[in-house]
Structure 1
Amino acid sequence: MPVPLRRWLPGLFLGTALPLTALPLTALAEAPQYGPELQGFEYPYALKHFAFESQGQSLQMGYMDVAAHGKANGRTVVLMHGKNFCGATWDSSIKALSDAGYRVIAPDQIGFCTSSKPAHYQYTFQQLAANTQQLLKALGVQKATLLGHSTGGMLATRYALLYPDQVERLALVNPIGLEDWKALGVPYRTVDLWYQRELKVTAQGIRDYERSTYYGGRWKPEFDRWVDMLAGLSNGPGKTQVAWNSALIYDMIFTQPVYYEFKDLKMPTLLLIGTSDTTAIGKDIAPPPVKARIGRYDELGKQVARLIPQSTLVEFPGLGHAPQMEEPAQFHKALLGWLDNTPPVR
Structure 2
Amino acid sequence: MPDFLKMLFAAAVVTTPSFALADGAPREPYGINLEGYAYPYPVQSFAVVSGGEQLTMAYMDVVPAQPNGRTVVLLHGRNFPSSYWAPVIRMLSDAGYRVVAPDQVGFGKSSKPSGDLHFDDLARNTIALLDKLGIARADVVAHSLGGMLGVRIARAYPDRVDHLVLTAPIGLEDYRLYVPPTPTDKIVASEDKLTADGYRKQLETNYALKLPPEQVTPFIDARFNIKGSPDYPRWLRSFVASAQLIYREPVAHEIPLITRPTLFIMGADDHNAPGKPSAPEPLRARMGQNAELARKLAAEMPSARAEVLPNTGHLVFLEAPDRYRELVLDFLAK
Task: Give the alignment partner of residue 68 of structure 2, picking from 62, 70, 73.
Answer: 73
C-alpha deviations, 1:108-143, integer Å up to 9, x for none? 011111011122x23110011001111111111110
Code of the residue aligned with 1:293 in structure 2: it is: R
d(CA) in 2 for partners of 1:191, 1:173: 28
Identity of aligned residues (%): 37
Cα deviation, residue 24, structure 1: 11
Of the structure 1 ranges 245-254 and 99-108, higher mean CA displacement relative to structure 2 is found in: 245-254
SS in structure 2 at match of 1:61 = strand
2:149 maps to 1:142: no
Q: Give the match for residue 114 of structure 1.
A: 109
In the alignment, is the contact (CA less than 8 A) between 2:264 and 2:307 conserved in 1? Answer: yes
Q: Give the match for residue 337 of structure 1.
A: 330
Task: Give the alignment partner of residue 96 of structure 1, picking from 86, 91, 94.
Answer: 91
2:146 maps to 1:152: yes
Cα deviation, residue 179, structure 1: 0.4
Cα deviation, residue 5, structure 1: 8.7
Q: 1:300 to 1:266 in 2, by over 3 A?
A: same
Structure 1 gap ranges (5+): 10-22
SS in structure 2 at match of 1:188 = coil
SS in structure 1 at match of 2:293 = helix
Q: 1:26 to 1:220 in 2, by over 3 A?
A: closer
Code of the residue aligned with 1:319 in structure 2: it is: T
Aligned-residue RMSD, C-alpha: 2.3
Code of the residue aligned with 1:254 in structure 2: it is: Y
C-alpha deviations, 1:255-284, integer Å up to 9, x for none? 111101112111100101011012111111
Q: 1:66 to 1:2 in 2, by over 3 A?
A: closer
Task: Give the alignment partner of residue 296 of structure 1, picking from 271, 289, 292.
Answer: 289
SS in structure 2 at match of 1:199 = helix
Code of the residue aligned with 1:162 in structure 2: it is: A
Stretches (4+) displaced over 3 A: 1-6, 23-27, 29-32, 216-220, 233-237
Q: Give the match for residue 16 of structure 1.
A: none
Q: 1:206 to 1:74 in 2, by over 3 A?
A: same
Q: Give the match for residue 55 of structure 2.
A: 59
d(CA) in 2 for partners of 1:243, 1:202: 14
The count of aligned residue pairs is 323
Q: 1:234 to 1:326 in 2, by over 3 A?
A: farther
Structure 1 residues 1-346: aligned runs within 5 Å: 3=13, 30=26, 33-69=29-65, 71-119=66-114, 121-183=115-177, 185-216=178-209, 219-234=212-227, 236-340=229-333, 342=334
Q: 1:33 to 1:307 in 2, by over 3 A?
A: farther
Cα deviation, residue 327, structure 1: 2.2
Q: Give the match for residue 20 of structure 1.
A: none
* TM-score normalised to structure 2 length: 0.90
* TM-score normalised to structure 1 length: 0.87
d(CA) in 1 for partners of 2:234, 2:209: 31
d(CA) in 2 for partners of 1:240, 1:323: 32
d(CA) in 1 for partners of 2:166, 2:281: 29
Q: 1:26 to 1:219 in 2, by over 3 A?
A: closer
Q: 1:182 to 1:42 in 2, by over 3 A?
A: same
d(CA) in 1 for partners of 2:49, 2:321: 37
d(CA) in 2 for partners of 1:163, 1:257: 18
d(CA) in 2 for partners of 1:25, 1:80: 33
SS in structure 2 at match of 1:260 = coil
Cα deviation, residue 178, structure 1: 0.4
